Structure 1
Amino acid sequence: MIPYQFIAIEGTIGAGKTSLATRISQDFNAKLILEQFEDNAFLPKFYEDQDKYAFPLEMSFMASRFQQLKDQLGTHDLFRNFIISDYYVAKSLIFARKTLQPDEFNLFNRFFQLIDISLPKPDLLVYLYLHVDKLQENIRKRGRSYEQHIKDEYLDQIQSGYFEFIRQQPEMRILLLDTNHLDFVSNNDDYQTVINVISREYPFGVHRITF
């Protein structure tokens, strides 16, 4: 039994967020919220020219994430009282801080603060930590063409952005899972190991677990 009503799974590109959230939703009859990144026309362009497309990309992602979470979290489901998402809205701020110029980020942050206060925080935020080489391996395996040229440096920057954010959230329950030695997608025992950890009750703060 998982003692939380709303869990958000986070991690850098290729960490396994969607795979884990989807499996948990199936096993625990949870309402599943998946990020609609494939509908964002700026994403392939961003990987070709980050300086030109970073601002419209981050603004469009923030708008779509806000609208989706507002709609999904505000709709009561008679048959499901457990919600799991493969992202937390703060990822908009984390990515923007690493991709935007200072003046662009200042404008972006003003909009973000307005929407952030109107959305509930997850009861538990789970961060999946993987080394960059493993992230790149997962990116290659899933084969999205526009992701194949992502640089290690970019993944490192995003990961450091998450760590910076996590350190500044004393009023959230955050589970930082080092999954470098797990394969929760293909190995059921590894998946159950993750479930056992998520099923514990935690006080506010960051809880680091290495397997």
Structure 2
Amino acid sequence: MKQQQAYISIGSNLGNRHQHLNAAVSAIEDEVGNVEATSVVYETPAWGFKGAPFLNAALRVKTDLSPSRLLEKLLTIEKRLGRVRSNETGYSSRTIDLDILFYEDEIINEQLLKVPHPKLQDRLFVLKPLANIAPSKVHPVLSKTVKQLLDDCKDTDTIAQTDLSLKNNILQTSKLNYLVIEGNIGAGKTSLATKIANDYNGKLVLERFADNPFLPKFYKDQSRYAFPLEMSFLADRYQQFSDDLSQFDLFSDFVVADYDIYKSLIFAKVTLAEEEFSLYRTIFNIMYKEVVKPDLYIYLYQNTKRLLQNIKKRGRGYEQDISPEYLVKINNGYLDYIKTQTEKKVAIIDVSEIDFLSNNSDYEFLLRQINDAIKRES
């Protein structure tokens, strides 16, 4: 059967709710089809009965199962994950709840299966996650987009976005020991590295720039403080890599870092005078021989306008006077470095038009790009 696109609502209000949701996603991935998109996770009060609050989310799945077989699979997964259905009418608490919201544009009105879900337009806890992954999906009966249904919804329940993420199997970390996420100032490298580490149980290594006493001074007087700044960064990066990465091969840990030590040379070339850079490069080359090299190097490209917006938004006082010209020089330094890499596994991803923190589909797009790079280099 041809692969079809289905949207599924998932929820839990008993036991370890987050664990139940992740178990359901894994089971659907294994038994139903490819989970192409997962919404953010929302917390909502019980709907239609008194009970503990729910965690709710939505999935977009590609499957070769017919609608009736899909329903059978979802009911089997529910039962295996502890869902107990009673013969009593009305709603009750449950470890997991899986509902088919849409199946392509089909309209099904059978006793045991009704698609689209007949109450989805009335439920904020369904529409909010669904709008996160499919705002333009048109309801085949009501002829309105999910976003329009959300705007029109009369449900007044409070719905809160959580910091929880649904596990997915997009990123094949088993093929990685050490991943580097790099980028210009404000590109989002720290945010992405942190999110990947949290979602895939990786060891996170973040640059310790906040404690550098020369950084605020450098942005006020670059010519005076460039050399001590770059030397202090180099020493700290070398120490951190020695501490955090020296034994990860021994234990086969998956490590994700928001910088590569080679960035020291990229920034130094931009900020230092010629004689200073010559001395710096000599010291760097001695240190660089001793550090572990990444399996994959990802460069997040952001255009200069977006970088400046991000820098302003995060509000670090000493960064507010960074010039567009300086950012262009840094970007060119990275690209020049990447062009010279014949042995290092490198991928450039343009993130200028996406928001992977607010939009889960954008985040999954990034993960797929990274995973494609892993596959190319395997």
* CA distance in structure 2 between the aligned counterparts of 1:23 and 1:93, rounded to whole angstroms: 27
* CA distance in structure 1 between the aligned counterparts of 2:222 and 2:248, rounded to whole angstroms: 39
1:42 has 2:207 as partner = no
Give CA-to-partner distance per residue, 1:32-90, whole Å, 9 cap, x none.
00000001000000000000000000000000001001110013499872000000000
What SS does the corresponding residue of 2:290 show, helix, strand or coil?
coil
What SS does the corresponding residue of 2:210 show, helix, strand or coil?
helix
Map 1:1-211 → 2, pairs under 5 A: 1-2=172-173, 3-76=175-248, 81-200=253-372, 201-203=375-377
Q: CA RMSD in A?
A: 1.5
Q: Indicate the structure whose relative CO is greater, using CA pairs within 8 Å and at least 6 residues apart.
A: 1
What SS does the corresponding residue of 1:192 show, helix, strand or coil?
helix
Corresponding residue for residue 50 of structure 2: none
Task: Calculate the TM-score normalised by the size of structure 1.
Answer: 0.93
Contact 2:204 2:255 in 1 (8 A): yes
Change (3 A) 1:76 1:126: closer
Change (3 A) 1:124 1:77: closer
Amino acid at match of 2:283: F
Identity %: 49
Contact 1:173 1:202 in 2 (8 A): no
Give the helix-richer structure, 1 or 2: 1
**Bigger shift: residues 97-106 or 68-77:** 68-77
* CA distance in structure 2 between the aligned counterparts of 1:56 and 1:202, rounded to whole angstroms: 40
* CA distance in structure 1 between the aligned counterparts of 2:285 and 2:251, rounded to whole angstroms: 33
Amino acid at match of 2:370: I
What SS does the corresponding residue of 1:128 show, helix, strand or coil?
strand
Aligned length: 204
* CA distance in structure 1 between the aligned counterparts of 2:367 and 2:346, rounded to whole angstroms: 15
Shift of 1:181: 1.6
* CA distance in structure 1 between the aligned counterparts of 2:318 and 2:244, rounded to whole angstroms: 28
Contact 2:177 2:249 in 1 (8 A): no
Corresponding residue for residue 207 of structure 1: none
Contact 1:42 1:53 in 2 (8 A): yes
Contact 1:15 1:138 in 2 (8 A): yes
Shift of 1:202: 2.2
List structure 1 runs of 4+ shifted beyond 6 angstroms.
77-80
Shift of 1:9: 0.6
Amino acid at match of 2:259: Y
Unaligned runs of 5+ in 1: 205-211
Corresponding residue for residue 208 of structure 1: none
Larger radius of gyration: 2
Task: Calculate the TM-score normalised by the size of structure 2.
Answer: 0.53
Shift of 1:203: 3.0
Contact 1:29 1:80 in 2 (8 A): no
* CA distance in structure 1 between the aligned counterparts of 2:291 and 2:235, rounded to whole angstroms: 13
* CA distance in structure 1 between the aligned counterparts of 2:223 and 2:336, rounded to whole angstroms: 23
